[in-house]
Each structure stands twice: as C-alpha cells, then as structure tokens.
Structure 1
Amino acid sequence: MVRAANKRPTIAIIGAGFSGVLTALHLLSNSDTDSRILLVEKARGFGKGVAYSTRHGAHLLNVRAGNMSAFPDRPGHFIEWVRENQVPMYPGDGNGFVSRADYGRYLQELLAQAATGPGALGRLVLVADDGVSLLPQPGANGFSLITGVGRTYAVDAVVLAVGNFPPDPPPGVAASLLRSPKFHTDPWATGALDRVQTDDPVLLLGTSLTMVDVAISLTDRGHQGPIMALSRRGLLPRRHADPGRPTPPTLPTLSPSLSASLHAVRAAVRAANGAGGGWHEVIDSLRAGTAKYWQNLPAETRQRFVRHLRPWWDVHRHRLAPTIAGRVQEMADQQRLSVVAGRILDLDSDGTSLVLRYRRRGHAHNETAHFAHAINCVGPGGDIARTQDPLLRCLLDQGFAVPDPLRLGLDTDGAGRLRAADGKIVPGLYAVGPIMKGTSWEITAVPDIRQQAKLLATTISEEICSRC
C-alpha cells in the first residue's frame, strides 16, 4: 500500500478534466492544510477531459473567452493568457471564442505551474491510471483506493470529478446494431469518424452541441454527403448575441410554480426586446440564482422541468459561437444538413445500409430513410444507476453512493458531500462538476464549476484538518 509521507493528509481526485484540475489547484493554494493531492486520470490526459481533448481547431468554446478564467476572483486571467500566447480568437476583438483545444492547453499549463511552484514539491502526484475500487480502511478514517494496475493508495478523502459519461443509445436502436462498425456509440472515441466516406449519407441522433461538433468535423474531413440530424423536438442550440447589449429593464422573479416562472421569464424577454436587448440577457440574468432555485424546488417539480422544459432551457442556455452558428446555417442552406423533429421507430441494418423508420413530429404517417453510418450525438449518458464505470459501480454497490432522485448524477448535499444509501453524509467522499447535476443543475460550464471547485476545496481542507 502506498502511504503519504509524514502523515500528510492525502486527497485523491478521480478525473483530471476541468473539475478535477481546478479542485486540485485550489487545494494546493490553500494555506490551511499541507495536503497531498493524487490526481488520477488515464483516459484523456491531465487537464483535458472529454471537452478539451479535441484537436479540431473549429471546435470552439461555447462561452466567450472573457468569461473562461479558471479563477472566479481573477476574471481576466484567461484573456491575459490568450493574448500572451497569441491564441486565435473568433472574432478577435476580445469578446470572441477560442478553440477547446487551446483551452485544454491553458489548463495543462496551470497544472504544470502548480506542480512546479513554491511549496508544491511532493504535494501533487499525477497518477496515470484508473480508480477502480474504494474500500474503507478498517478501524480508521479514510479509504484504500485501488487503481487499474493494482496499486493501492491510503487516502483520507476522495473527490469524484469524473465529468460527463458517454451517451446512451436512443430508444429504437436495434441491440445488434450497437456492435456494428456502422453505428458509432461514442462520437468522441478515437477514430470514431474514420470509416465515414466522402459521399456517405450520415444520420446524427440528437441535435445538441455534440451534433454540431460532429457535423463540422465531418465537413472539415472532406465529407460531402447528406447529413440528417434527428431529435424529438428538432431544436438546435441558439446563437450567442453580439456583446454590449443592454441589461434587461425587468428581471424575472422565479417562484416554485414552473408555469408562473415561465410567465415571468417571457414577460422579461418582451421587456428586454423593447429596450433593444433580448432573451440572451434575460437567461444570463438567471444564472447566479439557478442552483439555489433548483435546490428549493420539490422533487416532482424538478422532474416536470426535466421532462418538459429541459430541451428548451438547454438550447437557450448552452449556445453556439457566432462563427459556428454561421457554419451550421451554411450547411443547412446548401442542403447538406437537415434537422428533423421526430421519433425513432426503429433503426436496424438490412445487410447493406442502415434503415431508419421514424415519424416526424406532428405527422401521422411513418417514413423510411437509408444511411451508411449513424452517430450517437444525444449528449451525456443518463441514468447513473446503469453506469459501468468500475469505481462508481463499487460505490453504488457498497451503498457509499446513490443516484440523485432524478438519476442525473450522484446524490449530494449542496457542498458536494456524497449521501449514502441510508441518507447520511459519507465523511471523506465528495463530488464536483457534472456528476452533481441533480443537486445543482447548473454545474456543467466553466463559470459554474470554477466557483464550486473553490468552495469544495475550502470545505475539504476544513474537514480534513479536523480529522487528521
């Protein structure tokens, strides 16, 4: 078993994407504890995660560079880095968007600086492996973390920063198709698009940001065949507004009633339109209070929101950079991309091509279309109770963790402490980032995660100091 030197408290962070790296940076900068940090990551490399591991320069951030600082108390930090490193920005006026690959490089530089900075010697350990099992240490606080190669680490606390999961296959897809080279279950898997030929007709399941990324990737690889994007509502992410628009004259007041809150938001949008602004500013005004509002909603109201309003919220909240929105529109104008609202009846292979039977929204008759490839773009995986991630499976099976009531992630309190099967907080187990979506809802974008990572680091430092 690997133990920390000098009885220094040891904190393992599982996942080294944005959530994990930021939590590690804040723990390292906390002067109240001399903790040792194990940053555990194998799949994507340290500092990148799924979001920033893309090498495609046309995959842009969906938040302006000016709001992408890793540090909530240093809002200009990323913009300064962009200018110092002469990173391309679209548009290049300081209010633009940079590539996700460049943002991954930014995070990696922050991590490298932290690892070599004053007081960091021996405190940050990069573990290039997977966490696969976690067991309580008999007769003591803390856990034994077991990795994929069989090493065991004695740790005082564990932070789950595992990010989003691969998409689940949509209903209607034949089980035999999931093993076919023509059906691509994970669009971010290495080589996922390599088998798509120039003129192949392609079906994209889903119309969210992932679909946009895949459509642009195909185009930039020289693909010229028709692309059909299908989702239940056929909603595309909206375009970011130009900067500098006025603050809404009326801000909506949200109530426990979803219908009343929706009415208030629509009224605020009408007022904003009259003042020369629009819905963008109204949605942005909700951001600061979204987590608290969500946490105060009854469980059944949250469920109704997810069932009925979530698709509309997502396309207005998670937007496209204007450059990307322009490319999507260009593909539609050229009739290379068609976006269809409809329901899959079944998708299977006839031995030569993929055969889709579907029904358009509002239509009574069924339609059939043939494709060479289908790519699953429905977004992050859903029900966490079905996860096959070995570490999460271990925690769920032992009762150290349970899904939140909506099964969007793990059940936690507002600070990120995990709840066990008996409803009690498990000392030393924490979560950060998208796995807390059921608790905080708005916890998938950098501006939200950076604040949570800072607060969580403070919580962990205080609690570890009291135990060690």
Structure 2
Amino acid sequence: MFDPGRTPMAPQTRSSGPSDAPARPTISIVGGGASGTLTAAHLLRVSRDTDLRVVLHESGPAPARGLAYSTTDTRHLLNVRTRDMSGLADEPGHLVAWAERTGAPADPVGFLPRATYARYLGDLLRDLDAHTGGRLEVRREEVRDVAPRDGGGYAVQGTRGRTDADAVVLAYGNLPSATLRAGGDELPAAPWHLPSAWDVEALRALPADARVVLVGSGLTAVDAAITLLGDEPAREVVMVSRSGRLPLDHLPQPCSTSWVRPVPEEARTADALAAHVREQVERARRSGVCWRSVVDGLRGWNQRLWLRLDHDERRRFLAHHARDWEVARHRMAPGVAATIAEHRRTGRLRLLGGGLTSVADLGATVRVGLAGGEELEVDAVVNCTGPCPDLDRATLPVVAALRDRGLLAADPLGLGVDCRTDGRVVGRDGVARDDLLVVGPPRKGVLWETTAVPEIRAQAAELAVRLVAEVTATGAEGERALARR
C-alpha cells in the first residue's frame, strides 16, 4: 500500500573501478551486538542465492557481545529460558542443539550464562556465512557518520574507512546510562565513581572489603551485586533506586500460558489493561495457578496492546504501571534470585528506596547521603540505572550525526527512535525512509516490547525479507540501466 510519508529506495548505479561494472548490492549494519548479529544472520539466510554483501560494523573485539553479552562472569545468567532463546524463530530447538553439540548446558528450561550465549550467536553467524558463500564482512570500527549519497544509498563512515551501502540498519542496541546525579549535580569523575556496571574488571578491582553503593535495582544491578559479593566474602553492597524494588524470580519449571484469557477489545486505556492483568492474576490465584502464567501468557499480546493505546494512555502507563510490569516481566533466573536472597538474609546486601541525595568526594572514597537521612562512607558508587533512552542527549557518534542531520529523531515518548512499526526510521521532516532502518531496543517507543531476543529475532527476520527483495531489485535495475548505455 502506498505510504505518502515513505521515501522509496532509488534505483542506482555505482562504479567499482575502471570497468564501470556495478558494485555488489550492499547492506551495512551499524552495531554488532545481539541486534546486529541476528540481523546479519537473517540477511545471509534470506539472501542465500543472491550476490548481496552484508557489512557488519562493530567496534568491539568480536560480533555478538554488545553490552548484554560482553560479561566475563559466568554467574551472569540469561533471564529467558534456553528453549526460548534460539536465534532462529523457525528453528526453536537450534540453541539447545548447539549446546548439546558443544558441551554447553543444554537444559531447555534452564538459563545459560550470558557469555555462553554470546558464543552461540557468534557461531550462528559464522556458520551461516560459511554456508552462504562467505558474503559477510565484519569491519572492526566505530561508525562515526551515515550520510545520504547522491543517487541513493549511504556513505557509512567508520574509523577505518568508508563503506558505500544501498541500505543501512541501525542496530546499536541500548544507549549508555545517563550520568548519575545527586542533589541536582552530576557525580564527578573520581576513582570511586564507576560510570558503567558492565565493567566487570573494574568491579573486581575494588578492595576485598569494599562497601559499594549500586544506583539502580534492576537486572543490571543484580549482576553487579552477584560479581561484587560472590568474589569477596567481606564486601558489602547497598542497592538504591527510586522504587526500592528488585525484579521478581522465575520458577525452576515454567508455568502454562494457555490458561490466560485474551484482553477484551474495549480495553484501550492503561488503567483498563492494568485492571485486566490484576483480574487475571486474581483468577489464577483462586484456581491455584501461578501469577507468572498470566504475565508470560500475555507476552504475545504486548505489542498489539501497546499499539491500542494513544499517546496520552501510553504516558499514563509509563507513569503509573510500567515498573509493576517490568519487575514481573523481566525476572531473575532462579539461581540468581536465590543468591540475591541469601545475600540479603545475611545483611551483605541492603535494598533501599529513594536513591542518592548527596555525595561528598573524600578522594579515594566518598560520603553518600541516602533517602531517609542515612549517610555512609563507601569505596565506590556504581551506575546501574540502565540505558538512557533520551536521543537528544545521546553521545554515540553515529546517533549524534544522524540526529544533527535530521535523519533521526526521538519518538514522542522519548523512549527511542521515531520509526514505523516495521523499523523504517522517521526523520525530523516526518518522512519514513525505506533504506534506513532500526532494529531492537531503539524501537521501544513504538513497540514497547522490543528488548528481548524473541522480539529482536522476529524483527530481524521480517526486515531481512523486505530489505533483500528491495536491495537486490535495485541492483538489478542498475545493471539493466548500464546495459542500455
């Protein structure tokens, strides 16, 4: 169907040398974490019989790691069961089969280490590349800019050179956390200030008897506490957040999800959706069914329910219901939850609501003020607040460049990138581009549920089918145009 806000991909010819032969059709993927790796994998899979070139730009040492899976601590576990984490939606047993073949833990209802999952994604990409003719190029570089080219396509400028691409997929994942503040002021750069909870080596380098404040109480903070307290028995951790709530836990065995009733069509407000969930949880309780069956049973509905809500209702959901949903939806693996509970029982881990109220730099240590008036001298304050969705504050070079050029804009809720539900980026002018797409977490404002692998792999598969058809058709038109000269 014609979309008046859509910029079609223009047919183009490109010189690749003195022969004036057309270059191979090329898709560049900016970011090589889970989102970028799954996108590359599906492009290779879909384009098996074409001459398509896939270029994956990743500044880290290898694809598939990103923030989520770069950890070296094997106690950091996935929070989704192995059976649900296949990189290929049409082959749900693919990850379990890989685990059995490689000697990794293969329990379908278990929870793999994050580092093991990174190895799986890397193997998946390498195998697909080998089986489809070696058409993947991994460029170890940071992309600084993506600029439109005359005649169509983009010049992708990285720290190692330029790549000309017919289409670009932005797969940079979650943006870094916002800088911590206390009393209205940003925390200074200091030895005690750890701006990233993902820096496992920095956590491990803290004193063996360190007292540490973790700002945030989500899954990122849980992983940081697992490392800090698991490495050294004399350490203590204070976890602070606005809500003072931890994620809830998975049970060792999954609950049935077939029991849940569909959400009524007339439920089109945030309060109505919340009331439906509460009613289903109460119905489950009366029947002896776990509340988790309600949350998990609604997973297939979540994006459709979000799309039902208008802008004001989405804002109301974020203000009044989002945290309740998140602690129930994004749960801890059973073993992780048991470890955290034991640390709390022994007093080595405390959880407080309200966050930081003040900091006083003491040089090697810091005195922090906590809600309720308590003050502590601690060895470190660690930022565990999770990604900052504010595109206008983003410092990632490629995001800043596209934003400043007007090709990238924040979605109306400030949760990510303004785009269509299929990932086509909407620029400041309101036009959606067929050849500039976003996958994964940056779609959150449009889809809400877009940060977990089951959703990302579906996006990657859908995007791959459409992009391959469009890019290869564009290349064919270019060849015909040259032949007519």
User: What's the TM-score bracket when you normalise by the shorter of the two chains?
Assistant: over 0.9
Distance in structure 1 (CA, Å) of the matches to 2:32 and 2:432 = 24
Say if 2:66 is the partner of 1:49.
Answer: yes
Matched, 1:347 2:347: no
Indicate the SS of the match to 1:42: coil
Q: Which residue of 1 aligns with 2:332?
A: 320
Return closer, same or farther for 1:276/1:46 CA change in 2, 3 Å cut-off.
same
Map Cα deviations across residues 240-294 of structure 1 (whole Å, 9 max, x no partner): 0242534464425152111121111111111112223222111111111211221
Answering whether residue 458 of structure 2 is matched by residue 451 of structure 1, we say yes
Alignment of 1:88-237 (within 5 A): 88=105, 92=107, 94-117=108-131, 119-121=132-134, 123-138=135-150, 140-149=151-160, 151-172=161-182, 177-189=187-199, 191-237=201-247
Q: How far apart, in 2, do the equivalents of 1:384 and 1:421 lie?
A: 13
Counterparts of 2:358 and 2:166, CA distance in 1: 49
Q: Is the contact made by 1:13 and 1:38 (CA closer than 8 Å) also made in structure 2?
A: yes
Letter in 2 for 1:112: R
The amino acid across from 1:320 in the alignment is M
Go from structure 1 to structure 2 and tell me whether the alpha carbon gap of 1:188 and 1:277 turns closer, same or farther (over 3 Å shift). Answer: same
Q: Is the 8 A contact 1:245 1:276 kept in 2?
A: no
Q: Deviations over 1:104-130 (max 9, x none)?
A: 11111111112222x323x21111111
Shift of 1:352: 5.7
1:370 aligns with 2:356: no
Q: Secondary structure at the match of 1:52?
A: coil
Pairing of 1:400-439 with structure 2 (within 5 A): 400-439=407-446
- Note the C-alpha offset of 1:2: 9.9
Match of 2:75 in 1: 58
Aligned to 2:95: 78
Distance 1:20 1:3, change over 3 A: farther
Segment drifting more, 454-463 vs 313-322: 454-463
Structure 1 residues 295-336: Cα deviation after superposition (integer angstroms, max 9, x where no partner): 231112112212222211111111111000000001001100
Contact 1:56–1:217 (8 Å) recurs in 2: yes
Say if 1:275 and 1:3 are closer, same or farther in 2 by CA, change over 3 A.
farther
**2:315 counterpart residue number:** 303
Deviation at 1:171, TM superposition (A): 3.3
Q: Is the 8 A contact 1:249 1:271 kept in 2?
A: no
Higher mean C-alpha deviation, range 350-359 or range 428-437: 350-359
Residues 6-15 or 219-228, more deviating: 219-228
Give the match for residue 341 of structure 2. Answer: 329
How far 1:175 sits from its partner (Å)? 5.1
Aligned-pair CA distance for 1:433: 0.6
- Secondary structure (helix, strand or coil) at the match of 1:328 reads helix
Q: Which residue pairs with 2:480 in the alignment?
A: none
Instruction: State the match for 1:363 in structure 2.
Output: none
- Closer/same/farther in 2, CA of residues 175 and 466 from structure 1, 3 Å limit: same
Structure 1: tracts of 5 or more residues without a match: 361-365
Structure 1 residues 201-226: Cα deviation after superposition (integer angstroms, max 9, x where no partner): 11000100011100111123215222
3-state SS of 1:153 partner: strand
1:67 maps to 84
Mapped partners of 1:315, 1:67: distance in 2: 19
Give the letter aligned to residue 206 of structure 2. Answer: V
Q: What's the TM-score, normalizing by structure 1?
A: 0.93
3-state SS of 2:92 partner? coil
1:11 correspondence with 2:27: yes
Structure 2: how far apart are the matches of 1:65 and 1:339? 29
Instruction: Please say which of residues 349-358 and 263-272 is displaced more in the overlay.
Output: 349-358
TM-score where L is the length of structure 2: 0.89
Residue of structure 1 in register with 2:8 after alignment: none
CA contact (8 A) 1:145 1:153 kept: yes
Q: SS where residue 288 of structure 2 aligns?
A: coil
1:33 Cα offset (Å): 4.5
Partners in 1 of 2:61 and 2:346 — Cα distance? Answer: 35
Counterpart residue type for residue 20 of structure 1: G
Letter of the 2:228 counterpart: L
Deviation digits for residues 156-200 of structure 1, max 9, x if unmatched? 000000011221123326757331010101111363214411112
Counterpart of 1:467 (choices 457, 471, 474) is: 474
Aligned to 2:306: 294
Q: Offset of 1:30 from its aligned partner? A: 1.5
Deviates more, 1:309-318 or 1:327-336: 309-318
Measured against aligned partners, the alpha-carbon deviations of 1:395-419 in whole angstroms (never above 9, x if no partner) come to 0001111011112111110110000
- 8 Å contact kept, 1:344–1:356: yes
> CA shift at 1:439, angstroms?
1.2
Query: Structure 1 residue 47: deviation in Å?
Result: 1.6
- Matched to 1:43, the amino acid is G
SS of residue paired to 2:54: strand
- The separation in 1 between residues aligned to 2:184 and 2:304, in whole angstroms, is 41
Verify the 8 A CA contact 1:347 1:357 in the aligned structure 2.
yes
Percent of residue pairs identical: 35
Moved more, 179-188 or 238-247: 238-247
Q: CA deviation at 1:377?
A: 0.6
Deviations 1:423-457 (A, max 9, x none): 11123100001111111111111111111110111
Q: Structure 2: how far apart are the matches of 1:2 and 1:373?
A: 55
Secondary structure at 2:214 match in 1 = strand
Number of positions where the alignment pairs a residue of Structure 1 with one of Structure 2: 456
**What amino acid is aligned across from residue 155 of structure 1 in structure 2?**
A
Aligned to 2:255: 245
Paired with 1:7 and 1:176, the residues of 2 have a C-alpha distance of 49
